[in-house]
Structure 1
């Protein structure tokens, strides 16, 4: 069985591999938006995703048990490894027991890059991953040094393709000069179009270089699914979304009204709000991929069905205009590591 043939596929960057243009973000299955899936359910969920042709899987060393569970799935299904395009990441370091408040920090140094891939491959039980991202740039390491380390990993057969996440246009250009970058993973949705701005210029630069965009949080951290109506909906144990500016008191009420307008358009087209949001993203170009995350089969099926819907140019513009009324900045803008630059060599 080859899942790549079952969903619309596009080239991941100039001369890149053909992969499904809708992937599966696996952060949520390991927690963050609520309690993580029990291991047995997690493994069954991966089975179901594979059977539906969803074979572009996105994880990271930061996603709790995600790599470990994936390792068990691949051990149980060694013949299916060739069908799965697997991406993982390094660069966000976490110490939940830190007493000095330093629970998270960034490290994109060459030394940590090598340490991180060895640990990821051990957890995954694999000799290589298809795509390796710098999850965040630490703003201390020249990007050229990071990419040189990743090129060495590629030459050793431990990774196949190189990606960046939340980088600046300048960092992307400098990285691409060292070695072709296949894609940039960045937040992109009808609620978050920062990469399009003339100030950021990331989408423009990526297209100039032939670099694909992999959109994370394409459903606005679940807000564009239409299921979040109040603060109580993001207050369950393990759900960290209460800190998102869009969902803060005073903002959430206004933003729910925006989602309701989008829901009305979706209903008129026989779509769910989530499908409308994903279809809108796909209309932005064939170089745009999306990795909505879920841990529920019915949501997975809903997301996958979005690739079959088409929007007219007028509909795309109407949706964009409505979404511009959203109140609140995106969360990454508060971290200090969005669209990160790095020092010169």
Structure 2
């Protein structure tokens, strides 16, 4: 029997992105674990990870860190809602949202998690070859099997969100939002998310480090992502 379509609740006004723990400059594992623990102590419940958030030598390092973290702190798994990006080739960094690659990506990701379950699967980008309706339909069997809780989208416009949400309720949408990136307010993202009550995960809100220390600005995203509902605060 098919599961009743539902959204995974996104709690709190801030979340924590795990990319910079394992990508480019690798943070020692003990320090990374302490950082995650401190975030949980501060009330953070939403975390974002990536199948390809690793080093040149090990593209799966982000997932390996999480596997080791939950082995050491199994009690913290229930305190976290984790969205995991997938379907990106770790060498070319190009997306592939074919049914075959979605299957490969999800099955790889869940193998690193307790009980082979992730809260949210997030196609990191659309490849413009496969309609978003088909992408969502390829994820649904894993929701029905109990391996995935819900669906998140990344870097999509309002029209795409609208089409995807008609197939299955979208739990959240992650997009870059800062003074330098205001596209969510003009490409329909904010409007459609407000219409359906979908939280927007606004990453890089401080301009990739520009507003905190311009000397430290790099082509990396901040690890902290804002979870404020833009449909309420910016409309």
What TM-score do you get using the length of structure 1 for normalisation?
Answer: 0.59
Matched, 1:164 2:153: yes
User: 1:190 is matched with which residue?
Assistant: 179
User: 2:70 is matched with which residue?
Assistant: 74
Matches of 1:39 and 1:220 in 2, distance apart? Answer: 27
Matches of 2:163 and 2:132 in 1, distance apart? Answer: 7
Matched, 1:17 2:9: yes
Residues 90 and 117 in structure 1, CA contact (< 8 A), matched pair in contact too: yes
Q: For 1:211, which of 187, 198, 207 is the aligned residue?
A: 198
Q: Which consecutive unaligned segments of at least 5 residues does structure 2 have?
A: 1-5, 55-60
Matched, 1:228 2:214: yes
Matches of 1:31 and 1:94 in 2, distance apart? Answer: 11
> CA 1:121–1:42 in structure 2 vs 1: closer, same or farther (change >3 Å)?
same
User: 1:104 is matched with which residue?
Assistant: 93
Q: 1:50 aligns to what SS in structure 2?
A: helix
Matches of 2:45 and 2:192 in 1, distance apart? Answer: 28
Matches of 2:122 and 2:95 in 1, distance apart? Answer: 13
Q: 2:111 aligns to what SS in structure 1?
A: helix
Q: CA deviation at 1:285?
A: 4.7
User: 1:135 is matched with which residue?
Assistant: 124
Residues 190 and 231 in structure 2, CA contact (< 8 A), matched pair in contact too: no
User: 2:102 is matched with which residue?
Assistant: 113
Structure with larger Rg:
1
Deviations 1:71-110 (A, max 9, x none): 1111111122111111101122121xxxxxxx22111112
Deviations 1:7-45 (A, max 9, x none): xxxxxxx9752512200011111134xx21012221222
Residues 29 and 42 in structure 1, CA contact (< 8 A), matched pair in contact too: yes
Residues 8 and 149 in structure 2, CA contact (< 8 A), matched pair in contact too: no
Matched, 1:94 2:90: yes
Matches of 2:229 and 2:132 in 1, distance apart? Answer: 31
> CA 1:144–1:15 in structure 2 vs 1: closer, same or farther (change >3 Å)?
closer
Q: 1:68 aligns to what SS in structure 2?
A: helix
Matches of 1:115 and 1:30 in 2, distance apart? Answer: 22
Runs of 4+ in 1 over 3 A off after TM superposition: 281-288
Tell me which protein shows more helix as a share of its residues. Answer: 1
Matched, 1:42 2:32: yes
User: 2:133 is matched with which residue?
Assistant: 144
Q: Which consecutive unaligned segments of at least 5 residues does structure 1 have?
A: 1-13, 96-102, 245-277, 289-345
Q: CA deviation at 1:203?
A: 1.0
Matches of 2:108 and 2:229 in 1, distance apart? Answer: 38
Q: 1:94 aligns to what SS in structure 2?
A: coil
Q: CA deviation at 1:141?
A: 0.6
Matches of 2:206 and 2:74 in 1, distance apart? Answer: 32
Backbone CA RMSD of aligned residues: 2.6
Matched, 1:61 2:61: no
Matches of 2:219 and 2:82 in 1, distance apart? Answer: 26
Deviations 1:213-258 (A, max 9, x none): 1111112111122x114xxx45xxxx545xx9xxxxxxxxxxxxxx
